[in-house]
Structure 1
Amino acid sequence: MFSRFFKEKSKTDRIQSPWPSRGPGGPGIGSPGKKKGAFMVTRVFLHGLESSGRGTKGRFFRDRYPRMIVEDFFGSFHQRMEKLEALLADKDPLILVGSSFGGLMAAVYAGRHEQRVKRMILLAPALAMEPYRRYLPEKSSVPVTVYHGRKDEVVPLKETRDLAEGIFTHLVFHEVDDDHLLRTVFPLLPWDELLAWP
């Protein structure tokens, strides 16, 4: 985990999705009357370093989006990435949601498979975590939305934002009034829109 704590004062970003709503549940997320093939996209949640697929966020996604892949990842960074590679080997296209260390994993995976990853939603992503940040891509055109709490004492906000702005060419970065776990903000995010496809 990070030992440094950054406090960053900035304008409050509104919590809204850059993708317009397309009806209850969003396309391909359980909405009634959607055409055949609407579920072809694979949605994946990647939990944090000390969490699991059975944590608060994992349970939320399992309950709300039964088709979403919510797995447990343990061991070293390389062991987790090997499991992720095997898990998604035949999946295309992909929407990745990564929380903390899972956000780092998602960004690294997207750097390796940019043509298959169509969107990422990163929650307080540990992009600056050493020694793993060297695996991040230099540039990525994958659309990315980040939510990061201004009260985060685990993952440094300013360093994360600077890295994200340097890497992702299609980035929406929200600084929100919350801590690292995003307990307040997380359930209020427009998930049907964020996970909508196409």
Structure 2
Amino acid sequence: MPPALFLHGLDSSMRGTKAQWFRHHFPEVRMRDYEGDLDQRLAQLEDQVAGLDRLILVGSSFGGLMAACFAIRHPERCRRLILLAPALNFNGYQPPPIPLTVPTILVMGEHDTVCPPDLVLPQARATFNNLEVRIEDDDHMLHRTFPVLDWQALLT
């Protein structure tokens, strides 16, 4: 299994719902608590993945923004991104000049008011040219959708 990492949201941690779910169902998924602003969190991620390639990054909300920014910097090190309601509408995010070829799955809730699909989708489509989009009957937390995704397939 390629190295898989879970990147939690801005106000979350390794004690959050999704992190606990991964710890219970897929304990091999690596995670840590990220702190600070986007640049500080990206520096923590860089340290965490030093020497690793073929990464599968699962990013939730602000963690999705982190995953996208990491992939822009290091597309050759990314096997796949799974972006869960990514915060591509925050922090003045700018897509790269040339869309990335990293396979990316975007899962969003149609009722998301934090990272609304109408704001995030254009950013995602400008960032990734190998993008699968899933809009679900859910909200920002994706509590209904998250546990029923085919994680076995997504993490291999």
TM-score w.r.t. the length of structure 1 is 0.76
In 2, Cα distance between the equivalents of 1:112 and 1:130? 17
CA distance in 2 between partners of 1:130 and 1:195 (Å): 28
Task: Pick one of 49, 59, 65 that aligns with 1:98.
Answer: 59
Say if 2:117 is the partner of 1:154.
no
1:49 aligns with 2:47: no
Deviates more, 1:162-171 or 1:102-111: 162-171
In structure 2, stretches of 5+ residues that fail to align are none
Task: State the structure with bigger RCO (CA 8 A, min sep 6), 1 or 2.
Answer: 1
| Matched residue, 2:96 | 137
Structure 1 stretches of 5 or more lacking a match?
Answer: 1-38
Count the aligned residue pairs: 155
Q: Which residue of 2 aligns with 1:61?
A: 22
**1:193 equivalent in alignment to 2:153:** yes
Asked if the contact 1:108/1:137 (under 8 Å) is kept, the reply is no
Instruction: Report how far residue 80 of structure 1 moved.
Output: 0.6
- The structure having more radius of gyration, on CA atoms, is 1
AA in 2 matched with 1:100: S
Distance between the aligned counterparts of 1:157 and 1:91, measured in 2? 32
Deviating 4+ runs (over 6 angstroms): none
Give identity over the alignment, percent: 45
Instruction: Measure the CA separation in 1 of the matches of 2:45 and 2:4.
Output: 13
Describe the SS at the equivalent of 2:141: coil
The code of the aligned residue for 1:186 comes to: F
CA distance in 1, matches of 2:106, 2:8: 15
Which residue number corresponds to residue 73 of structure 1? Answer: 34
Aligned pairs for 1:113-124 (under 5 A) are: 113-124=74-85
CA RMSD of aligned residues (A): 1.0
Match of 2:49 among 88, 92, 96: 88
- TM-superposed CA distance for 1:182, in Å, is 0.4
Amino acid in the other structure paired with 1:43: A
Amino acid at match of 2:113: E
After TM superposition, the structure 1 = structure 2 runs for residues 13-52 of structure 1, keeping only pairs within 5 Å, are 39=1, 41-52=2-13
